[in-house]
Structure 1
Amino acid sequence: KESEGERERALEKAGSGLCAEGEIAVNIGGVRVVLFGDVLNRYPESRLAELVNCSTQNSELISTLCDDFDPGRKEFYFDRDPDAFKCIIDVYYFDEIHIKRGICPICFIKEMEFWKIDQNVLDECCKSYLSEKEEELKEIANKVKVILEDMEVDQCITRTQRCQRFLWRLMEKPDSSLPARIIAIASFLFILVSAVVMCVGTIPELQVMDAEGKLVEHPTLEAIETVCMLWFTTEFFLRLASSPNKLRFALSIMNIIDFMAIMPFYVVLALTYLGTTSIMELANVQQAVQALRIMRIARIFKLARHSSGLQTLTYALKNSLKELGLLLMYMGVGIFVFSALAYTMEQSHPETLFRSIPQSFWWAIITMTTVGYGDIYPKTTLGKCNAAVSFLCGVIAIALPIHPIINNFVIFYNKQKVLETAAKHEVELMELKSGKETPFNPILNLGSELGRKVTKACSNAIKYNRFNSCPIK
C-alpha cells in the first residue's frame, strides 16, 4: 500500500510545473512525469538515480544522462518509448517489472539497458517469454544468414563457380529472377500434368490392349509421362550439379522424394528393355513393376517444394509428435476397450456381427473416427449404448490435440513470414550498397551493421506478427 501511495503521489505531480526539493521531472517522448528522489535511490546505479544525485550545474554530466535539459523547468528530456518507461518505473515501487501488451520484448530489453535496470528484476513469466523470443530471433537470424549466403555471388572466384551459383539460384530461388520464376512455374505445371496422367491412365475406357490381352496405358499418356520424366530428370541433375553442398543435397528429404519420383520410370524402362521372355514371365518381376508404377504417386510430394504452406504444415506436424502420440494412445486404449465391450455385449444375439475382439477393432476404429460404414453394427441395446459412448469418446479424443497442432502451425507460419520479410529487406539493402562496401561476410555477426539490421527486421516482424502480452498484466 505504501508503494502504491507513492506511485499515486508521483502521478499527481505529473505536469504540475516546477518540482519540489528531492523531486525530478522527466519528459519521456512527450509524456511528463514527476518522480521522487528517495524512491529512485532504491536503485542507485540506475540512470534515474544518477539524475537525482547529479548537480544541475554540471552540464557535461547531464548531457551524458539525458537527451536535453531545461534549466528553467528543471526538466530532463528523453527521446525514448513512454509505454516502456511506464513498465520500467514499476521496479522502483514494486521491485519487479512486467512487459505490457503492445511492447516488443526485444526493444523492451534495450530500454532496460538504457535506463540501467538489471534484467533480473523481470518477473519469471516475462523471463521465460523473453528467453523464448531471443531464441526465436537467433533462429530466424541464422536462417536469414543461410539465405543471404545462397544469394551472394561476390564470394565466387572463378567463372565456373559463378556459373554454378547462377544455376543454383535459377533452379532453387524462384524469386531471384524472372527466368527462375518461369522455371518454377513450369516445374509446378509438369508435376500437375504428371499427376493427372497417372490418374487418367487408370481409367479402363482410356486404356488399350497389349499383345497379351491385358489393359495398359494409352500410348499418348505414356508419351506425356515420358516428357514429364525427362523434365524431372534434367531438373534433378541440374540441381545436383549446381548444389554447393552435394552431401547435404543428397540427404535432403525433398531431394530423396524427387529421386524416388523418377526412379520407378527408369527401373520399369530397364526391365522392359532388358527383359526376355523368360524374365518377363516371372510373376515376381511383374509384381515389382506394378509396385514401382505405384511409387509414381510420390511425385505429388514435389509440390511441397513450391509451397511454403505445405512446408510449414510439415514442420508443424514434426513439432506436434507429442500431441499426435497422445492422440494415438487415446484412440488405441479406446479401440481396445470398446471393441472388447462390444464383443461381450453382442454375444447374446444369435445374428451377431462381432465374431471376435480383433474383428471388433475395425468397428471401434470406424465408430470412434465418426466414419460409420455400417458394415458391422451392434444389434443389442447394450451394444448400441456402447457404440454411442465410443462415438462421443472418439470425438473428444480427436478434438483434444487439435488446438496445439494448429498453434504450432501458426507459429511456424509466422516464422516463415518473418524470415521472408527479413531476407527480402537485407537483399534489397545489399543491392543498394553493392560496390560501396566490402563483400558480404558469410558469418552473420549480430553486432555488425548487417547483423543489427537483420535483428531489427526480425524483431519488428515478431512485434507485429506474434506478440502476446505478459499473462500477469
Structure 2
Amino acid sequence: MAQVKLNVSGTIFEIDIKELEGSGFQRLTAMCYDASKAGKPLEFKINRPAGCFSAILSHYQTGELHMPTGVCPGAFRRELEYWEVDYGVMQECCLYKYQSFIDDEETRNSFLDKAVTSAADVSAADSSVVIGKYQKFRKRLWKIVDNNETSVLAKVYFYLVFFMVLLSIVSMAYSTEPSMRRPVSECEMIEYMQHSENIHASKVQSILGNPDCSNSESWDKPFYKENFKWTFFTFSWGWSTFQRNNANNDTNTANSSGQRPNMLQRILQGGAKTTEVPEEEEIYIPDLTVPKLPFCVIDHVVNAFFTIDLILRLVSCPSLLQYFRSVINILDTVALICCYVYKVTVTIEKEYLYMDSTWVLLLNYMQVFRTLRLFRVVKNVRASKVLAYSLSQDVRDITLLALLLIVGISTFACLFYFAESRETIPSIPNAWYWAIVTMTTVGYGDISPETGFGRVIASICAICGVLLLAVTLPMFVNNFLTLYQYSCVHESIEKRKNEKVSKEILPGEQTNCGTVKPTTKFSEFHGYSVNTKVKPPAYTPPKKPVDNFRENTIYHVKEAEIKQQLS
C-alpha cells in the first residue's frame, strides 16, 4: 500500500494513495501522478497553512468539509482555491458562516469602489490639454471647490458654501412671509400700471399728485396697505373728480334713501349749478407688496457667489461631461439660469416684478432647486455617501415595501369606503388618502370613522401599518449601519496608512517632488548621535520550542531516527 507523505509547513501528513483516487483532490492527485511517472518518492514539502490543509484532508477521509475554528474565511477560501476544492461541499453548519463572509466581502468591496472611491478624485492633471503650473492649479482648485481635501482653505470654502446655501434658503423662505414684505410705493404703483398698459394709469397718477419718480425719495413714499375702490365722476364739460372708499363699501349703488353718493352730493351742494348726473367710472387697484430691501441685497449676493462658484467648478473640473451627469449639478445650474432669466424678465417687463404671470411663477418655483445645493455640500460627507449607496442597493426591498403598502392601502380603503357614509368618504380615492395617513401612523384627523364597523377597520389598518413598518424598516437600518461601519473602518485604515507613510519619509529624502537627500544624518537632524564604532552583538536565532502536542513534526521525526540508529 503506497503512502503519500506530505510536509505541510513542518507538519507531517500521511495518506493512502487509494484515498486520492476519485476523491476530486485534483492538485494533489496530479502531483502524485507526476512524481510516480518520474520515479520519485511520494514525499512532498508544501509551504501552505497546515490547519486549513488538515480540514481539507479530513474532507476526503470522512466525507465532510468543515471550516477550522479561528481561521479567517477569506484565508480558507484561498486554500480551497489552491487545492481546487469546491466550497459548495462544505457542511451547512460552516457553509452559512462562510457564505455570509463572502457576501459581506463583496458588499464591502463594491461599496468602497463605488461610494468611497468616487470619480471626483480624478484630478485635472489627467487632462492632456493642460500642463505645468496651470495643471497643478486646476487640480488644487478642483479639490478645494469639490471638498476633496482636508486643508484649511478647503474647510473654509466648505463652510462658506454651506453658509451661503442656508442663507439663500432662509432668504427665499422669509421673503414670502407677509410681515417681511412691504407695500409698494406710489412710483412703483405708477410703474406697474404703466407697464401693464392699464387705461387708468394717468388718472391714478393725477390722484397721487403726479409724483416726481425721477427723484429717489419719491420711491420711498408708500402707497397703501389695503385694497380700495376708486370712483371717478366725469361731467360732460370735462370736469372730473374722484372718491376713494373701502373695498367693503360699494359706491355704485345708492344709499337706503335713494340719494346719490356722498362725493356727488357735496359737489351739488357746493353751488354747482347743474342737474346733470355725471358719468361714474370705478377703478380697482390691487394691494401690491414686494420683499424688503435686505432680501433683495441677500439675493444679489448669493447669486453672485454661486455664479463665481459655478465658473470655478467648470474651469477646474476634470470632465464637463462627468460633471453634468450629476442630477444635483444639473438642477443647481438650472436654478441659477432661471434666476438670471427672471431678473432679465422683470427688467424688461417691469409689471412682472409686482404681479406674477404663469410662466414667471414657474421661474420663481424653479428657485426651489436652491435647496438641493445642500446635497452638493454634503455629498462628500461620509454619512451621505453611505445613505445614497444603501438606498441604491435596497431598491428591491423598497419596492417590496411599496407593494405591501399598496396592497394594504387598497384593501383597507375599499373596506372603509363601504363601511362609512358618502358624507364621510365621498369616493375611494379619498379612502386611499385616509389609508395612507393611517398605515403610516400620521393620522391628520381630517377623516375619521363614524360607524362601529369603520372603527374596527381603522384599528386593524393602524395595527397592520405599525407591524409592516416595524418589520421592514430594520432591514434598511441594518444595511445602513453595516455600510457606515465599513466606511469608518476604511477611513481609519487610510488615516493610519497616511500617518505611517509620513513617518517613513525622512526629512530631505527623495520624494515625488524631486527633492534630494542631504548629507545630514537622520540622528543628527533629530539632535542625537550614534556611536558607529561599537558594533551590535551578532544575531543568534532563537531556539525552536518543543511542542508536546505535535509528535509528527520533522524535528521529532529526525530525533526518533537518530535515537533508533544509536540503539
> TM-score category by the smaller chain?
0.5 to 0.7
Amino acid at match of 2:75: C
Quick one: structure 1 residues 344 and 106, their matched pair in 2 at CA, closer, same or farther if it must change by over 3 Å? same
Quick one: structure 1 residues 235 and 153, their matched pair in 2 at CA, closer, same or farther if it must change by over 3 Å? same
Q: Which residue of 2 aligns with 1:120?
A: 86
Matched, 1:150 2:122: yes
Q: Which residue of 2 aligns with 1:410?
A: 481
Q: Distance in 2 between matches of 1:273 and 1:49?
A: 86
Q: Which residue of 1 aligns with 2:165?
A: 191
- Shift of residue 253, structure 1, vs aligned partner: 2.3
Matched, 1:107 2:75: yes
Q: Which residue of 1 aligns with 2:328?
A: 254
- Shift of residue 438, structure 1, vs aligned partner: 12
Contact 1:184 1:306 (C-alpha < 8 Å) held by counterparts: no
Cα distance per residue 1:348-373 (max 9 Å; x no partner): xxx95122322222222222222222
Q: Matched residue of 1:216: which SS?
A: strand
Quick one: structure 1 residues 418 and 210, their matched pair in 2 at CA, closer, same or farther if it must change by over 3 Å? farther
Higher helix share: 1
Quick one: structure 1 residues 121 and 334, their matched pair in 2 at CA, closer, same or farther if it must change by over 3 Å? closer
Q: Matched residue of 1:376: which SS?
A: coil
Q: Distance in 1 between matches of 2:341 and 2:62?
A: 73
Superposed counterparts of 1:4-403, under 5 Å: 35-38=13-16, 42=20, 65-66=46-47, 80=49, 84=52, 87-95=55-63, 97-99=65-67, 103-112=71-80, 116-123=82-89, 125=95, 129=100, 132=103, 135-136=106-107, 139=110, 142=113, 150=122, 158-159=131-132, 160-211=134-185, 212=189, 213-277=287-351, 283-347=357-421, 352-403=423-474
Provide the aligned length of Structure 1 versus Structure 2: 393
- Shift of residue 333, structure 1, vs aligned partner: 2.2
Q: Distance in 2 between matches of 1:237 and 1:395?
A: 49
Amino acid at match of 2:154: A
Amino acid at match of 2:341: V
Q: Pick the structure with greater CA Rg.
A: 2
Q: Distance in 2 between matches of 1:131 and 1:375?
A: 51
- Shift of residue 261, structure 1, vs aligned partner: 4.2
Q: Distance in 1 between matches of 2:352 and 2:309?
A: 36
- Shift of residue 154, structure 1, vs aligned partner: 8.8
Q: TM-score, normalised by structure 1?
A: 0.67
Amino acid at match of 2:382: S
Contact 1:150 1:169 (C-alpha < 8 Å) held by counterparts: no
Structure 2: runs of 5 or more not aligned: 190-286, 515-567
More displaced 10-residue stretch of structure 1: 86-95 or 198-207: 86-95
Q: Distance in 2 between matches of 1:279 and 1:95?
A: 85
Contact 1:153 1:165 (C-alpha < 8 Å) held by counterparts: yes
Contact 1:260 1:298 (C-alpha < 8 Å) held by counterparts: no
Cα distance per residue 1:285-305 (max 9 Å; x no partner): 442344234443333333432
Q: TM-score, normalised by structure 2?
A: 0.57
Identity %: 24
Cα distance per residue 1:7-31 (max 9 Å; x no partner): xxxxxxxxxxxxxxx8989897xxx
Q: Distance in 1 between matches of 2:410 and 2:430?
A: 11
Quick one: structure 1 residues 110 and 362, their matched pair in 2 at CA, closer, same or farther if it must change by over 3 Å? closer
Q: Distance in 2 between matches of 1:274 and 1:290?
A: 17
Larger RCO (alpha carbons 8 Å, 6+ apart)? 1
Aligned alpha-carbon RMSD (Å): 4.4
Cα distance per residue 1:190-223 (max 9 Å; x no partner): 2223333333334333332234543433321332
Contact 1:97 1:122 (C-alpha < 8 Å) held by counterparts: no
Contact 2:352 2:360 (C-alpha < 8 Å) held by counterparts: no
Quick one: structure 1 residues 100 and 178, their matched pair in 2 at CA, closer, same or farther if it must change by over 3 Å? farther
Contact 1:41 1:49 (C-alpha < 8 Å) held by counterparts: no
Contact 2:303 2:336 (C-alpha < 8 Å) held by counterparts: yes
Structure 1: runs of 5 or more not aligned: 1-21, 67-77, 440-473
Quick one: structure 1 residues 23 and 147, their matched pair in 2 at CA, closer, same or farther if it must change by over 3 Å? same
Quick one: structure 1 residues 98 and 332, their matched pair in 2 at CA, closer, same or farther if it must change by over 3 Å? same
